[in-house]
């Protein structure tokens, strides 16, 4: 829970100006949809269609968005892992999508074994709530059946909610069938995230639309996420990027509601800048933070739960000081802006090209710190510790006070990676820097992993489904 005050930099006048910009961009420029059903649905709803471009009545967009719930619950395989989306709730997901992995200084292609280890690590930390879809691309398994293996790993190795493949109708339907096997149907509400990225600027491609439509039909949680790097996929000003982001989100959520009214939707925000000297993405800068603060205000104005793309983003190539401060700047902005879902919250390195095991451990500690920092402060007679003052009096110390002895084990947050040793003890223990301690931490977590129980009949049906579907797409794989 994040019940703290929200940092809101936009005045009512500024919000009204953004609203006007959204209306103008939506009605005069519009959004392109590379899918005949999407075009048909918008045309039947009375919107202006010109080829694949839809120009919207702004009132229509806002009416459609109002059909999406402001808050909703998501079931996990383990009911203790169920999630609440919206309001003051925050949900955290690790890095998603990198093709490369970095382990103990070695950078190489990711493998299925690496992905399975990362899924296990997610299960082992309470700082994270879901493994998402693809913490790493397993480049050693066939592309056409990769989504099946990723989904199977999320189901077998965790007992948490996970994210399905959004990039084709058949892959989405496979993931939906797998959750039907696990949960015995879909009648109990959403159990699966689907992060559908906009092909910014102002375009939805056919593969993402296939996923968005399939998950909406199944009543699953659809995250509509524009991918905006200012200077590349959006203009170079934060207000212009906010307008574009809002139009793209409104269009996607409107489509989801046309497919199935009441579909749970999450406004996605992945808004950062570009290094205008090199053209490379830049992360953790002030523009990104301001964009997140403002995105929170816009989302609350629309009545949508929202996703912060910025978890622990950095452009750094190693787990160093730059990685630390860029990650912190992006993550603290998500907390202050009141994000409900935080993707990319552990392991992101090198602009999203690399999943780092060391940074995964370091980021989980940073998440844990901020979750503790933003927890409500309990103020009552016990916390005032008046009896401790009576016991110690003036000029004494509280180490041996009864109040201290009753609470010292849990009274303060304790790091699992950071060091509080004095220099002599730190030297005696090997003079390990932060990255080395983070490496030790993830290995300890992995050594303690225990696979959560899964009904044998359910597991067997899943294995049969995955092997059969892989064969149907031309891949021969064994998951036994």
> Token digits for 329?
């700047």
User: Quick one: how far is CA 289 from the chain centroid?
Assistant: 16
What is the pLDDT confidence band of residue 475, given thresholds at 50, 70 and 90? Answer: confident
Instruction: Specify the pairing of strand 306-308 against strand 48-50.
Output: unpaired
Given a cut of 80, whether residue 128 has pLDDT beyond it is yes
**Chain segment 409-446, per-residue pLDDT in tens:** 999 999 999 999 999 999 999 999 999 999 999 999 99
Residues 17-43: what's their mean pLDDT? 98
Q: Tell me the C-alpha to C-alpha distance, in Å, between residue 102 and each of 282, 299, 360, 444.
A: 20, 35, 10, 17
Q: Which helix (H) or strand (E) holds 274?
A: strand 265-274
Q: What is the dihedral of CA 195, 99, 151, 96, to 10 degrees?
A: -40
What is the pLDDT confidence band of residue 116, given thresholds at 50, 70 and 90? Answer: very high
pLDDT of amino acid 153: 98
What is the pLDDT confidence band of residue 281, given thresholds at 50, 70 and 90? Answer: confident
Taking each continuous run of H as one helix and of E as one strand, the counts in the chain are 17, 18
pLDDT of amino acid 311: 85
Please name the residues in contact with 145: beta carbons below 8 A apart, sequence gap of 6 or more.
Answer: 466, 469, 470, 473, 475, 477
**Chain segment 159-217, per-residue pLDDT in tens:** 999 999 999 999 999 999 999 999 999 998 999 999 999 999 999 999 999 999 999 99
Pairwise CA distance, residues 159 & 422, whole Å: 40
What is the pLDDT confidence band of residue 364, given thresholds at 50, 70 and 90? Answer: very high
What is the pLDDT confidence band of residue 476, given thresholds at 50, 70 and 90? Answer: confident
**Chain segment 215-241, per-residue pLDDT in tens:** 999 999 999 999 999 999 999 999 999
Q: What is the DSSP letter of 369?
A: H
Given a cut of 90, whether residue 121 has pLDDT beyond it is yes
Given a cut of 80, whether residue 310 has pLDDT beyond it is no
What is the pLDDT confidence band of residue 480, given thresholds at 50, 70 and 90? Answer: confident
pLDDT, averaged across the chain? 96
Q: In this structure, how many other beta carbons lie within 10 angstroms of the beta carbon of residue 221?
A: 28
Nearest Cα to Cα of residue 211 among 342, 37, 340:
37
Residues 80-107: what's their mean pLDDT? 97
- Buried-exposed string 322-352: b where 16+ CB fall within 10 A, e elsewhere: ebbebbbbbbbbbbbbbbbbbbbbbbbbbbb
What is the pLDDT confidence band of residue 462, given thresholds at 50, 70 and 90? Answer: very high
Pairwise CA distance, residues 367 & 293, whole Å: 18
Pairwise CA distance, residues 27 & 449, whole Å: 53
Pairwise CA distance, residues 76 & 263, whole Å: 18
Residue pointed to by tokens 């690399």: 354
Given a cut of 90, whether residue 309 has pLDDT beyond it is no
Pairwise CA distance, residues 151 & 340, whole Å: 23
> Token digits for 443?
């290995």
Nearest Cα to Cα of residue 83 among 117, 131, 150:
131
């Amino acid at each position: 829970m994040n019940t703290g005050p929200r940092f809101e930099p936009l005045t009512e006048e500024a919000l009204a100006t953004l609203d006007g910009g959204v209306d103008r961009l939506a009605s005069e420029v519009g959004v392109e949809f590379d899918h005949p059903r999407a075009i048909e649905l918008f045309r039947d709803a009375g919107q202006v269609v010109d080829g694949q471009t839809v120009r919207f009545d702004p009132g229509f967009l806002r009416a459609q968005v109002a059909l999406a719930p402001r808050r909703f619950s998501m079931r996990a395989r383990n009911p203790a892992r169920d999630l609440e989306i919206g309001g003051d709730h925050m949900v955290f997901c690790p890095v998603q999508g990198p093709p490369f992995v970095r382990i103990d200084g070695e950078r190489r292609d990711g493998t299925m074994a690496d992905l399975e280890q990362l899924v296990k690590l997610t299960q082992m930390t309470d700082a994270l709530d879901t493994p998402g879809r693809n913490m790493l691309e397993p480049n050693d398994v066939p592309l056409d059946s990769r989504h099946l293996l990723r989904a199977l790993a999320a189901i077998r190795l965790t007992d948490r909610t996970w994210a399905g493949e959004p990039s084709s109708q058949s892959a989405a339907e496979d993931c939906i069938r797998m959750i039907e096997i696990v949960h015995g149907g879909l009648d109990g509400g959403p159990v699966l995230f689907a992060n559908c990225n906009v092909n910014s600027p102002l375009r939805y491609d056919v593969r993402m639309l296939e996923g968005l439509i399939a998950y909406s039909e199944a009543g699953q949680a659809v995250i509509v996420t524009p991918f905006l790097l200012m200077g590349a996929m959006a203009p170079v000003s934060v207000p212009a990027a906010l307008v574009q982001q809002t139009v793209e989100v409104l269009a996607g959520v409107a489509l989801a509601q046309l497919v199935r009214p009441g579909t749970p939707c999450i406004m996605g925000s992945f808004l950062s800048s570009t290094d205008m000297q090199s053209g490379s993405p830049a992360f953790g800068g002030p523009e990104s933070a301001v964009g997140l603060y403002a995105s929170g205000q816009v989302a609350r104005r629309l009545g949508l739960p929202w996703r912060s793309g910025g978890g622990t983003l950095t452009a750094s190539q190693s787990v160093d000081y730059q990685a630390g401060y860029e990650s912190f700047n992006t993550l603290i902005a998500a907390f202050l802006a009141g994000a409900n879902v935080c993707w990319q919250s552990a392991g992101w390195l090198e602009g999203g090209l690399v999943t780092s095991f060391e940074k995964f451990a370091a980021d989980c500690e940073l998440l844990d710190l901020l979750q503790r920092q933003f927890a409500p402060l309990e103020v009552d007679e016990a916390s005032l510790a008046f009896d401790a003052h009576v016991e110690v009096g003036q000029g004494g110390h509280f180490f041996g006070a009864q109040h201290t002895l009753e609470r010292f084990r849990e009274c303060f947050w304790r790091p699992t990676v950071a060091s509080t040793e004095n220099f002599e003890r730190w030297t005696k223990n090997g003079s390990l820097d932060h990255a080395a301690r983070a490496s030790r931490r993830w290995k300890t977590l992995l050594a303690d992993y225990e696979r959560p129980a899964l009904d044998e009949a359910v597991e067997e049906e899943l294995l049969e489904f995955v092997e059969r579907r892989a064969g149907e797409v031309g891949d021969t794989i064994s998951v036994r």
